[in-house]
Structure 1
């Protein structure tokens, strides 16, 4: 599967004093953690969309958030191997296709292309590997062959689906840190089947679903069927990034069960640790409620763009909130972002301005400190306001701040 066109990311002068290592909040430990190597290649996996509806602000917030991490790593001279999946076969997609009378393949292709268009507009750097669930089926089968009968088992009664025994991983539960009662409740709410008869434990999760009437299926040694959601990401990450990589990312609603279970599956199959850090973006609401497809309370990137909103204003509205905070979208937030963008463009359009060294250093410090975009925005605000208020004499500064805003924040001014 093809990703979207990669934007040109400008380079900034390297600091004489060197870089602060990038630290982000690791959900598993509950602490800030240095992520990425000192040199070489940083490896990032971010869970992608299930393409049955358009990109809303919750999606945009997640992918812009991890774009910040990628840009911070690249600014420090690291290569980044970024992988993202597309769950282009799953129950919600099939349900939407049936409800609308659209072929499920056509629906997935159409919504994936809309997502690509939105990401391009928001200046998000694409993944190096953009992998659909359908094309990952051979990888899932390969990974399933690595399990023993104590960790993956087939139900005795029809339909004889295959399940992963979560407690075959002694450390199961370390990602989200939930007690079992809470875990069972969330598992049921987020696509799990704790009440299904024949499972060894209510939290055991589906890894291969046998064919159902009227649903797509593929041949495999485990029977004709299709992969479960969690094993899809485990297989893709393990194949493209190796058994252990730097960051597993996604929205905070993926910490459990998705990241918990995909991590345990990979650990049991390979005998190696999975991600060094589990990093989660906050939830975006509208009028105090979580924005979600099921509730229908969506603010769509594509509709804002169609109405003439500058995508860079949308991106600035997202960046005004710390990536792991929960917040609500408002019209006022977008107006503030448009005003901020206008001020930045006025200041960077000057023939000369105040020197840029301090603002570059402050933005770099903010981004290394848990991707603190609001602090970075404030630093550029201060420089822009001061440069518009006084006659600066640094003719290089406007171009440097233009490059800074794009290189580290992804904002084209």
Structure 2
């Protein structure tokens, strides 16, 4: 039986996984500088969490979740996004009671959505996300947006475009909601069944419909910016002011609504312009979600965050031919000839690794020529040769592969010699 990988998933093999490790480490370093701490939540949660947190009217909940019943009859769902899980953990672990507020968290992990697999859109995908919960200060909005932009720019991406909008507070959204209903209702039968269902439940979702995106009513739909009250307008103006002061360029797009029900006030997306990236141009998105924590049983705790796909990031880096600075070599390869020399090489290898060096040797009984070829394939910086004669003389020959320089070293000094040479080359 030929068992194959499930559709919409991928194996990340050696040679490629190093790129993933590199961009993950970049994310962790950036979050350290911004003082965001890592959180790790379960891969599956109670289904109700996403129904309440993400929203019943979203495509994610209606069409894309991997939901199953466990042996105890409980409905569980593989997490389709990270914010709801972080908010649940924030409430359950009473992080709102901690002295240091807001609570600033980040996560890196797999998410799951059942949708048609295509380039940059997998059924299992990895997200890097950031959440700041416990502050309604617009400066936090600017900080989160700046962090997202910094991540892409520090990896070398060009042609980035930040698009922002305000979805307003509850009062503003209610006024806009009624305006949308009045706008679409006379011709709602011309729209898809999903939009017809959303008209009363959440008409804002109509603006995010892909099927009816070209309908003429979409182009003339009321703008949320025309319905912002004084408080929401002032909030949005402060976010824009702070981004201007930081030198973060942006465009305001009144049609930007995002795909999740919990967003309000600030919403944003980061896109990439230029050829070679296919049809998918949105790299990441996020926004403010005041009210989500309360929906999950916690106290009033306004929050903001974003999430981005590492798969799409890697696609963008490849499209722009950006080479990541990944170490592809090892420090030392031990070439051993003779049974006793092979035994000694195994011990030396262990000692090199304990000192922090990357080292390897032959394990399939290659001839010396084959071992040297293996050292070349691994791009070894040094090759250490140990034969029966060297072992008897308690010596080892060490060759610097780039210069060709070769030295005979006392076996007792070998580990120290290698450690010192590697430290000098850093």
TM-score of Structure 1 vs Structure 2, range by shorter chain: under 0.3
Structure showing greater Rg: 2
* TM-score, normalised relative to structure 2: 0.25
Higher strand share: 2
Identify the structure with bigger relative contact order (alpha carbons < 8 Å, sequence gap 6+): 1
